[in-house]
Structure 1
Amino acid sequence: MFHHFLLERFEQFRDRAAVVWRGDEYSYDWLLAAIRARIEQLNASGGAAGRIVSLEGDYSPFTLATLFALFELRSIVVPVDSSLVEAQKIKYLQTAGAGMRIIEGPEGMKILPVAARTGRGTCEDESSAPERSPWIARLQEEKAPGLIIFTSGSTGTSKAAVHHAGMLLEKYRLVGRAKRTIPFMMFDHIGGINTMLQTVSGGGCLLIVADRSPAEICRMIEAYKVEALPVSPTFMNLLLISEAYKDYDLSSLEVVSYGSEVMPQSTLAAWNSQFPHVRAVQAYGMSELGVLHTKSKDSNSLLFALKGAGVEYRIVDGMLEVKAPTAMLGYLNAPHPFTEDGWLRTGDMARTEGEFIQILGRKSDIINVGGEKVFPAEVESVLQLLSNIEEVAVSSAPSGITGQMVKATIRLKQEESLKQLRSRIWEFCKDKLPPYKIPQKIEVTSQSLTSDRLKKIRSVQSAKY
């Protein structure tokens, strides 16, 4: 079996709490026993070693135990969030070529053959499947554990990124300080997996939330003296707007790390003003890269440095390119995104200032107004300062004159006429943005501009305005 240093470390942490879930505490001793029991169960069911296996569930002590058991068995694991509709799950399993399906929950581990649920022919041996990916072949030939992470698919079809799990796990060999942490990102998200591994590698405790609402997050922070919270900028803005923090004691919170989307400067400033005792740290990661070590210039700055052994970066034509030991091997269903000399094209537009980087936005989100580039986050940062605006998302709209124009989709706190809103926006922005960045098209919506992954949605059907 593949034996990783993390299990040896769990032995050292035996008496500590590893997970708190639904009010119950599970120790590292329990976790070790659960991992061994699942290894025995998987071996008895026909074996998962070297096979592509889906692991379906959300954060719980049971999914964690099964994940580590699969790594020990050198399986190639496809984490799948339990909230996805069945059709989407099946699509992921077919893309990954999974031959075994594990559904994990408090009632126990269910093991199902994929063929029984998808209508495919049996796939008892993925190595004999047609058109086997070279990345899968490499993992199986090396008898190494793997991880297949699907991207969010916000700009199209979700891409399946194949990782060498052994190389990914090496990042966590350095022991950090044990912290009580809420794993905010989903179980199938690279940020969520990073939070889990970073916490347990240092002997910390994962506090599993019932839901990811501002009120529930604040309640958990107070109840369990949470010290670390990794979230998205959109969630930070929602928490500020909700004012849920006023009803709870958040004094235990030491650090908030934010990532997965561009942080508006206005949101960061508002957060630091409200929580001056909490250190705000920018994280950087992708499904294709893992989550890299970073160092923010300071809590008020959007600038950060990439750290870590073997991590290099460069900016080519305004786009960030990275080399890192944790980078994926490649995609299962998309063109290879690496340059010939091994740099990953991230798709993030960036600028440098000395040793520091600032992410400006995704290349796919750039609005081209008559040859001038507009990054949505910059405009959103200004608009969020306006009164009566609860949420705002900036995107492009076609223009017969400039090719594209800036469009702002706004969710209001209280009803307001479009004429008055448009006038207020122009008056507020005229000394803060150049004219081509000021929204020329305003839409008002009653729908949320936040996805179920608590990231900003930039395409939503507007209301009558």
Structure 2
Amino acid sequence: MSEFDIDRIARFEDAEAVVFHGRSWTYRQLVGLVADWQQYLDGHGVRPGDVVTLEGAYSPQICAGLLALIDRGAVVVPLTPLPAAKRAEFLEVAEVEVVVTADGTGARTLERTGRTAGHELYGRLRAAGSPGLVLFSSGTTGRSKASVLDFRKVLARYAPGGTPRRILSFLSLDHIGGINTLLHTLVQGGTVVTVAERTPEAVFAAVQEYGVQILPTTPTFLNMVLFSDVLERYDCSALQLVTYGTEPMPISTLTRLAGLLPAVRFKQTYGLSELGILPTKSRGDDTLWVKLGAAAGFEYKIIDSVLWIRSEMAMLGYLNAEAPFDEDGFFNTQDVVETDGEWMRILGRRSEIINVGGEKVYPSEVESTVLEVPGIAEATVSGHPSPVTGMVVKATVLLAPDQDADARTVQRLIREHCRRKLEAYKVPALVEVSGARQHSDRFKKIRSAA
């Protein structure tokens, strides 16, 4: 039986499925691409259970290749273009047997690595006759972990129905959020709008030109939007919903965006490669309080302020690390939360908490306060060793492009503002003005940058 029922999307026929480099692809054309991929994979002897990379930038060809590999029952390792050393690491960790590359023109290559993927998790997928998905973590604080998911369980979340929407594909297919955007959009007959580069200019030009209704993105990117003039130069009237996740949102950023886009609803999402994207409900557009698990298949509990989640689509495990599941199947997210009845606020990873003389400092709170200072485009807060208190707070900031203030003036302004808004132990003892970006290619803050 087909793992992804192509008929589910074929019925949309001439509706617009994907916009890529200014060209529109209908569902009929997308299904044709899937059929072409199936013949290509047949011709190269790709079998169910083979571990296959699908490498390339987001395009209709990559989308169709993914659907064809799922349909075949392969274990898919989606990769975007990577530095050679990182790519070699990923291929080794994933025990990749077949490497497939594709670009937006339809050109493809396929080669076998000579490896035999014998990991126990792959054995479980093959025994169940299920397609698989391998996703690598961003690895911003260490070696990337490789999650193995049963794609059949992932697909179970995406039922036909709902209103077709035009959604911008901000996150790539090597990220659980990118997979979610694609599958959610296609089963509803919506349109995936792609951009050649993820800059505020390119994204909001696409919002205007293609009438994008939903923009899934990250807090880091939205903060970049605030320091551009794109909201003034582009028509955002079609935009209905902005979703954000992957890291804590500075409340100062959210408040400013809600004021600039009063007709747009803002929704906090929560998801992990290990668990999938959880259903959420935001308390309001100007608050970080959120409700989790408003649908079957997800449960959570909180132990010592840390969030643990049980998900029907949870990964089978890591290829290169121990999986932090308890005996009841709950996964330790390592996210510290506070609660207000059924609502919760995610404060950040436990490993990121700064202990200043026994007092806990959450970087996201200080970052939000620092970003209130005019001219600060990015802020990353971390701990710095101190012989007196063990740790002190350090803020690394990037100035907006039009700022030319000297470092001492910036340091003074930040400390003065933080003293007015925060307890004394939270005020940055060190402020570094840096010209380096503080986010990864996935637009997620790199804590090690501080």
Task: Indicate the residue corresponding to 2:333 in structure 1.
Answer: 346
Equivalent residues of 1:53, 1:76 under 8 A apart: yes
Distance 2:217 2:162 in 1: 19
Alignment partner, residue 226 of structure 1: 212
What residue is the counterpart of 1:377 in the other structure?
364
Counterpart in the other structure of 1:447? 436
Could you tell me which residue of structure 2 aligns to residue 324 of structure 1? 311
- CA separation in 2, counterparts of 1:356 and 1:22? 41
Aligned counterparts of 2:104 and 2:237: Cα–Cα separation in 1: 33
Determine helix, strand or coil for the equivalent of 2:449.
coil
Give the AA of the match of 2:423: P
d(CA) in 1 for partners of 2:71, 2:160: 20
The CA deviation string for residues 68-102 of structure 1, in whole angstroms up to 9 with x for no partner, is 100111000000012x1122112111111111010
Q: Any idea what the Cα deviations from partners look like across 1:25-63, whole Å, max 9, x if unmatched?
A: 111111111112211211111123210000001211100
1:181 to partner: Cα distance: 0.8
Preserved contact between residue 3 and residue 73 of structure 2 (Cα < 8 Å):
no
Determine the structure 2 residue equivalent to 1:151. 137
Mapped partners of 2:75, 2:107: distance in 1: 18
In structure 2, the partner of 1:166 is: 152
Query: 1:176 is matched with which residue: 157, 162, 165?
Result: 162
Counterparts of 2:315 and 2:295, CA distance in 1: 16
Question: Structure 2: any 5+ residue segments left out of the alignment?
Answer: none
Task: Give unmatched runs, 5+ long, in structure 1.
Answer: 116-121, 127-131
Deviation at 1:365, TM superposition (A): 1.1
Residues 3, 152 of structure 2: 8 Å contact kept? no
- Maintained 8 Å contact 2:4/2:67: no
Aligned partner of 1:404 among 374, 391, 397: 391
CA contact (8 A) 1:215 1:245 kept: no
**Cα distance in structure 2, aligned partners of 1:418 and 1:102:** 48
Q: Answer yes or no: is the 8 Å Cα contact 1:411–1:447 preserved in 2.
A: yes
For the residue of structure 2 that corresponds to 1:242, the secondary structure is coil
Alpha-carbon spacing, 1:313–1:197, altered in 2? closer, same or farther (3 Å): same
Map 1:231-270 → 2, pairs under 5 A: 231-270=217-256
Cα distance in 1 for partners of 2:49, 2:406 equals 61
Matched with 1:294 is 280
Aligned with 1:368: secondary structure?
A: strand
Residue 174 of structure 1: CA displacement?
Answer: 4.8
Cα contact 1:163–1:328 (8 A) shared by 2: yes
Give the letter aligned to residue 8 of structure 2.
R
What RMSD, in angstroms, separates the aligned Cα atoms of the two structures? 1.4
Q: Which residue of 2 aligns with 1:103?
A: 101
Stretch deviating more after TM superposition (250-259 or 389-398): 389-398
**Residue 77 of structure 2 is aligned to residue 64 of structure 1:** no
1:42 maps to 41
State how far apart, in whole Å, the 2-side matches of 1:109 and 1:323 are: 41
What is the alpha-carbon distance in structure 2 between the residues aligned to residue 108 and residue 423 of structure 1? 55
- Cα drift, residue 114 of structure 1: 4.1
Q: What displacement does 1:325 show?
A: 1.1
Residues 397-435 of structure 1: CA distance to partner in whole angstroms, max 9, x if unpaired? 101011111000112242334443333223222231110
Is this contact kept in 2: 1:380–1:393, CA < 8 A?
A: yes
* Normalised TM-score (structure 2): 0.96
Count of aligned residue pairs for this structure pair = 447
How big is each residue's C-alpha offset from its partner over 1:138-194, in whole Å with a ceiling of 9 and x where there is no partner?
Answer: 101111100000000111100000000010011111523211011101221111111
Q: Which amino acid is the alignment partner of residue 28 of structure 2?
A: D
How far apart are 1:209 and its partner, in Å? 0.4
